[in-house]
Every structure is written in structure tokens, then in C-alpha cells.
Amino acid sequence: MDKDLKSKTFGALERLVVELGGRRYLAGYIFSFIHTRGVTDISAITPLSKAFRARLTEQGYYISELKIAGKLTDPDGTMKYVFGLSDGGQIESVLLFDDDRRTLCVSTQLGCAMGCVFCATGQLGFTRNLTPAEIVDQVNLIEASSATDKRITNVVFMGMGEPLANYDAVVDSVRILNHPAGKHIGIRHLTISTCGDFEKIEKLAGEDIQPRLAISLNAPTDAIRQKIMPVAKKFPLDQLLQAVEIYQRRTKKRVTFEYCMIKGVNDTASHARLLAKRLRPFMCNVNLIEYNPYPGCELRPSGRVAIERFARVLKESGMETTVRLKMGQSINAACGQLGAAWLNTSGPNQWE
């Protein structure tokens, strides 16, 4: 049983308080003190009686806290944070600025087991899942470290790891970040990205809380997709898109398809036509992402001309299409680059 109060949803805290003989409303104090005031010591939750605070401590409950181990800023304003975990591991998060939006890309795992060849994190391998506390604390600490009072407006679960492979912790994190007593980030501003675990997508469609969904697609056919995403053999396109259709039917939400543009692999006009045909039934938008190289990978990014041609074919086919230009590349903070500084080194402690 997880004794970390920061990992518990509002409902779980209510149940815990009642189990320990307290009034249900006390859960609100615990939740808000942790997620709005940044309290990491149970004794500091002063609305609770001394006796009840002592009871929590005696039962082994505690409040964890990540440590910011470093921060880098790209000339374009993108910020990358590295966090130290209690077991010595490290993860990275990226803060992006777009007018009034402050979007934080959070990690959900230490490493990743998916092995996508275009992603540096996938080459690190998988160590473990993050707890809900370790996921939401990326938001808490980055907001607390800001020199202004501006809040994180959007959170995307697109950092290190495959979010749906850590399903329970990620869904609990969504509940925690969305709750009015905490950060109260709107559900439309919380996005889960996945390589295509169709069973988990269908499960997510059945939840009582439904964030936005982004699919890391990257190819219009199984043959191409399996070359760059080994896990695609387990998640074939027909079953993946069927799950997306179920999610969309139940939630009525627009779905985003992420498409990393790789030179000579998936970037021709014919690829674009195939993609448009595949996605025509969906209420969706396509994000074309400039491929971001990392050390040791032979893949190369498509040129701007190829990307613009690809986008034009999609738009002419009626697809809402956005080109996501490289941001944070000089600090290895762009899509697919998290953990790149740790490759060919003795480990995360080489991060700088």
C-alpha cells in the first residue's frame, strides 16, 4: 500500500481519513495543502488536529518531494528540468511557451520500453514506472520555481516513457491535476500520448474522467510503422484505429495524431495520401513533427520542403494539419530527445 499522501487522489484521501477515524472533509485540507501550498511535512497541515497528524505519521504516511537537479534554457525560451528521484534515478520535463499558454511535458516512466528508433528515451531502456506523486510533482515544483505567478496551463503526458504502460498512476495523476481543490487544470488541457496500446485506449474511454488523447502514429502503414516503432507489431494499425474510434465515440473529443517526419522513411506525398485516407473517418488534427536527431541514430529529418509538401497534401485532403517546428533542440529538449545526453555515458549523472 502506497503511504505517500501526494500520490492519493481526492477520493482516496477521503477514504483514508474516514478509515483513520476522521471526518471526510479533512481530506480537503490535506489535498490542498499538498497541491497548492507545496507542503511536504504532515505537521504543517495545521487545520488537522495534532492527534490526527500524529496518527498519520504513526501509520507510516508521508509526503514525498522531487528535487530539481538542474535546468537549461534554450534561446527560443524552452526550459528543460531534470529531477532527482528518491532512488537515485533522474527524469526530465520540458516547459514550452506559446503566447499565454505554458505547456509542461511531463515524464511518466524512468526510461521507456517501447524502443522507438527515432526516440532517445527509447534507447535508454526501461527502469520503472513513476508514482502519481512523482508525475504531479513535476508540475508542482516547476510552478513553485517560476519567477512569476503564472500557472502551468497545459500538461501533456509526452515526456519520458509510455503513459498508458503506467496506466493507473497516469490516470490518478490526471484526477489529481484536474481536481478543483488542487491545480484545477481543465480536463481539456490535459493530454495523454500513447504509442498505441489499443486495450488501454478502450479502458481510458470507459473512465469517468477523459483527458485529450494523442496517438504517436508516425506512419500510414503497419510495414513502415513496425520498422521505426518495434512495439507496433503488438499494436497493429487496424486495432489501434478501432480503439481510437471507440474513444472518440464515447468522449466526443478530437484526437491528435503525432507524425514524426523522417527523411526517406515516411515523408513522401504518397505517404501523405495514404495517411489522409486512414484518418478520414476521424475528428482529428495531425501534428507534423520535425525529427530531432540524437547521438548514435542514423535517421535524418525531412527537409522543410518535404514537410510543407506533406502538409499541403493533408490539407488538400481536408485534414486539419499543424507543423511543429523544433523547439528546445540546443538543450536536447525537443520531441524524442529526452535522455539523449545520457546515451553513451555512465548514466543520468552525466547530465549537464
Q: Give me the DSSP letters along 242-267.
A: HHHHHHHHHH---EEEEEEEBTTTS-
Active site residues: 92, 335
Phi, psi of 216 (to 5 degrees): -80, 95
Cβ-contact 313, 220 below 8 angstroms: no
Q: Which of 278, 272, 211, 280 is nearest to 247 (CA)?
A: 211
Alpha carbon distance 228, 217 (integer Å):
10
Q: Give me the DSSP letters along 101-128.
A: EEEEE---EEE-SS--TT-HHHHH-EEE
Burial class (CB in 10 A: 0-12, 13-18, 19+), 305: exposed
Alpha carbon distance 90, 69 (integer Å):
8
Q: Which of 166, 165, 184, 163 is nearest to 175 (CA)?
A: 184
